[in-house]
Amino acid sequence: MNKYIRSTRKLVKISVTGFVIIIFLFGLLSFSESRDFKLVKNMEVFSNLFRELTFYYVDEPDPEELIKTGINAMLKTLDPYTVYISEKDMNNFKFTTTGNYGGVGSLIRKKDDYILITNVYKGFPADKAGIRAGDLIIKVDETSIKGKSSNEVSDLLKGSPGSKVKISVKRFGHKDPLSFVLERKEINISNIPYYGMLNEETGYIRLSNFRTDAAREMNAALNDLKKNYGASSLIIDLRGNPGGLLMEAVDICNLFVVKGEEIVKTKGKVKEYEYSYIAEKQAVDKEIPLVIMVDRGSASASEIVAGAMQDLDRAIILGERTYGKGLVQTTRPLGYNNQLKVTTAKYYIPSGRCIQAVDYSNRNKDGSVGHIPDSLISEFKTKNGRTVYDGGGILPDIITKQEEPGLITYNLFAKDIFFDFATKYSYEKPEIALPQEYEFSEDDFQLFMDYVFECDFDYESRACNEYKSLVEIVKQDKLYDDNEELFLQLKEILQHDIKTELQNHREEINRFLSSEIVGRYYYQAGSIEKSLASDRDVEEAIKILSDKDTYDSLLMLSLRKEKIAPGTN
User: In sequence order, which residues have a C-beta less than 8 Å from that of residue 303 and are 6 or more positions away?
Assistant: 243, 294, 322, 323, 324, 325, 326, 347, 355, 393, 394
User: In sequence order, which residues have a C-beta less than 8 Å from that of residue 233 and are 6 or more positions away?
Assistant: 201, 202, 203, 288, 289, 290, 291, 545, 546
Is position 551 within any domain? no
Q: What whole-number distance in Å separates Cα of residue 291 and Cα of residue 539?
A: 12
Both 522 and 451 in one domain: the answer is yes
Is 146 among the residues known to form the active site?
no
Is position 549 within any domain? no
Query: If DSSP codes are grouped into helix, strand and coil, which group holds residue 454?
Result: helix
Pure H helices in 297-433: 301-311, 407-414, 417-428
Both 8 and 143 in one domain: the answer is no
pLDDT at 99: 64
Q: What whole-number distance in Å separates Cα of residue 289 and Cα of residue 551?
A: 8
Is position 150 within any domain? yes
Is 128 among the residues known to form the active site?
no
Catalytic: which of 213, 237, 251, 311? 311
CATH number at residue 341: 3.90.226.10
Both 72 and 144 in one domain: the answer is no
Nearest to 241 by CA among 293, 189, 316: 293
Both 297 and 224 in one domain: the answer is yes
Q: What whole-number distance in Å separates Cα of residue 297 and Cα of residue 365?
A: 12
What CA–CA distances, in Å, run from 25 to 28, 65, 338?
5, 20, 14
Both 36 and 175 in one domain: the answer is no
Backbone φ, ψ for residue 111 (5° rounding): -145, 110
Catalytic: which of 300, 351, 368, 527? 300
Write down the pTM of the prediction. 0.83
Both 213 and 183 in one domain: the answer is no
Backbone φ, ψ for residue 120 (5° rounding): -125, 140
Backbone φ, ψ for residue 484 (5° rounding): -55, -40
Is 325 among the residues known to form the active site?
yes
Query: If DSSP codes are grouped into helix, strand and coil, which group holds residue 399?
Result: strand
Domain boundary among 173, 188, 203: 188
Nearest to 197 by CA among 180, 213, 221: 221
Determine the structural domain holding residue 163 and report its residue range: 100-188
Both 361 and 306 in one domain: the answer is yes
Is position 455 within any domain? yes
**Which H or E run includes 174?**
none
Q: How many domains does the chain have?
A: 4
User: In sequence order, which residues have a C-beta less than 8 Å from that of residue 185 and are 6 or more positions away?
Assistant: 102, 103, 104, 105, 124, 125, 161
Q: What whole-number distance in Å separates Cα of residue 319 and Cα of residue 315?
A: 13
Which residue positions in the chain have pLDDT lower than 70? 1-33, 94-100, 358-363, 365-367, 370, 461-462, 464-465, 494-495, 558-569
Q: What whole-number distance in Å separates Cα of residue 395 and Cα of residue 311?
A: 11
The pLDDT tens digits of the residues spanning 333-384 come to 988 888 999 989 999 999 999 988 766 656 676 667 767 777 778 899 999 9
Both 413 and 299 in one domain: the answer is no
User: Using an 8 Å Cβ cutoff, are 387 and 380 in contact?
Assistant: yes
The string of DSSP letters for 260-300 reads T-EEEEEEESSGGG-EEEE--S--S-SSS-EEEEE-TT--T
Task: Report which residue type is found at 526.
Answer: G
User: Using an 8 Å Cβ cutoff, are 296 and 368 in contact?
Assistant: yes
Catalytic: which of 139, 148, 158, 325? 325
Task: Report which residue type is found at 73.
Answer: A
Domain boundary among 364, 399, 434: 399
**Which H or E run includes 82?**
none
Is position 201 within any domain? yes
Both 365 and 417 in one domain: the answer is no
Is position 564 within any domain? no
Residue 287 neighbours by CB distance under 10 Å: 9
Beta bridge partner(s), residue 203: 197, 234
Both 64 and 159 in one domain: the answer is no
Domain boundary among 399, 434, 468: 399
Is position 557 within any domain? no
User: Using an 8 Å Cβ cutoff, are 347 and 275 in contact?
Assistant: no
Pure H helices in 147-213: 150-157
Both 176 and 295 in one domain: the answer is no
Nearest to 53 by CA among 35, 69, 37, 74: 69
CATH number at residue 171: 2.30.42.10
Is position 95 within any domain? no
Q: What whole-number distance in Å separates Cα of residue 188 and Cα of residue 103?
A: 10
Both 336 and 198 in one domain: the answer is yes
